[in-house]
Amino acid sequence: MRHVLFTPVLVALLLAGCGDDDEKSSPMTKPTSTTSTTVPTTTTTSTTTTTTPAPWCTSTVPNCPISIIESYPSNLSTDVYYRTAIDFSFTLLDGTEDIRLSEAGVTVPGTANASITTGKLTFVPDAPLLPNTAYRVDTCSCLGVISSNWTTNDIGAPATAVDLVDRTYRADFGGGRIVEPAGIGALIGSLLEAEMLLGVTAADASAITLIGGTGDALGGQDTCVATAVYVENTDFTQNPYFATQSPEQLWNVAGLEVSLSDIEITGSFAADGSALLGATLESILDVSTLDTLLGADTCGLLPTFGLSCIPCPTGPATCLDIFVDSLDMPEVPGLVLEARTDIQIGDDLFCNP
């Protein structure tokens, strides 16, 4: 891992630059309304497709005061995860907006949600999308209909379960799209420069078992940090997709142990087992350890961004909800994770010279 020394000056620079953190969509968004209809006829521009109001879109007004900040997946993307959610971030919304997804002119069933609070318009398909398939998204607002087109990648074909056993996958937390905490993802990502390892200990057609560890920045495992125990025999009937949980995992960040609790990880294996792609991480992060890295009270800084710490599962109000998606985890060739407990680490002279 890369060790970073944070001085008060660097903290000030980080805080000045993280107000525009890009909010990203995730497959775990919980929408509130359903949609289905036909897709309107379009006129193509260089980056998006705009249309005159379709029968289902009646929000168009002259001199519409809003604009689109960003969208995910981006227009013309060719490597979209088959379990993605779709979102458009606007400068503001009034709650009348709508969004539709289609494939070859056929509407894809799903759930749409417009959040006036966040200015985000989101769509979550009812079922996983098809691999290697072109899709189109039409969004309705007072701008009229704005459309984008993109293609899913080849992830989605089942992996050979037995071939996954004893493989280990690595993710850089900061390399994912930090959805929560909103507004300070860049800061949190820069602080947590730790390598997350996920190892497969058993797998068959119905279940998979994994353990979690921390990388040593040299391509191996940091055996002085206890491994996380995930739910044994996690359901794997949706191969290559899984969703597993663990009560806690520790990361070694710049020599300090950072605690994650109430962890849920999802993802899909490449058919040949060479990577774990589209992974998501949802957890509760104890930020009190980050005080040392920042040289300041982390929880005391959060109100600047309209945020505040929440109680940790163990009691102190020094935690934040975190959600990261689009974590791509390549295999670490030849590395088999070793299960390590606090007792083993305490008796290890290498860890306690």
State both tokens at 119: 């200015």
- Would you list the DSSP string of 190-248? HH---EEEEEEEEE-SSEEEEEEEEB-SSSSB-TTSPPEEPPTTEE-TTTTEEEEEEEE
- Does residue 180 belong to any structural domain of this protein? yes
Spatial distance between the Cα atoms of 76 and 205, rounded to a whole number of angstroms: 35
| Closest listed residue to residue 324, CA positions, set 12, 27, 13 | 27
pLDDT tens for the 353 residues of the chain, in order: 333 333 333 333 333 444 334 333 334 333 333 333 333 333 333 334 433 444 678 767 888 888 998 898 999 999 999 999 898 999 998 888 899 999 999 999 999 998 888 888 999 999 999 999 999 999 998 888 999 999 999 999 999 999 999 999 998 877 788 888 877 777 777 777 778 899 999 999 999 999 999 998 899 999 999 999 999 999 999 999 999 999 999 887 777 888 899 999 999 999 999 999 999 999 999 988 888 878 889 899 889 888 899 999 988 899 999 999 888 999 999 999 999 999 999 999 999 88
CATH number at residue 105: 2.60.40.1220
Question: What residues pair up with 124 in beta bridges, in sequence order?
Answer: 111
CB-based burial label for 67 (10 Å; 0-12, 13-18, 19+): exposed
**Helix, coil or strand: residue 95:** coil
Co-location of 189 and 245 in the same domain? yes
Co-location of 182 and 278 in the same domain? yes
State both tokens at 343: 């007792």
Which pLDDT score is estimated for 96?
A: 83
Co-location of 167 and 139 in the same domain? no
**Buried-exposed string 303-313: b where 16+ CB fall within 10 A, e elsewhere:** eebebebeebe
Co-location of 297 and 340 in the same domain? yes
- Give the count of alpha carbons within 13 A of 208, CB side only: 31
Residue 274 domain boundaries: 8-20+158-346
Number of structural domains in the chain: 2
Are residues 114 and 141 in contact, defined by beta-carbon separation less than 8 angstroms?
Answer: no
Co-location of 317 and 231 in the same domain? yes
- Does residue 265 belong to any structural domain of this protein? yes
CA angle, 96 then 99 then 102, to 5°: 155
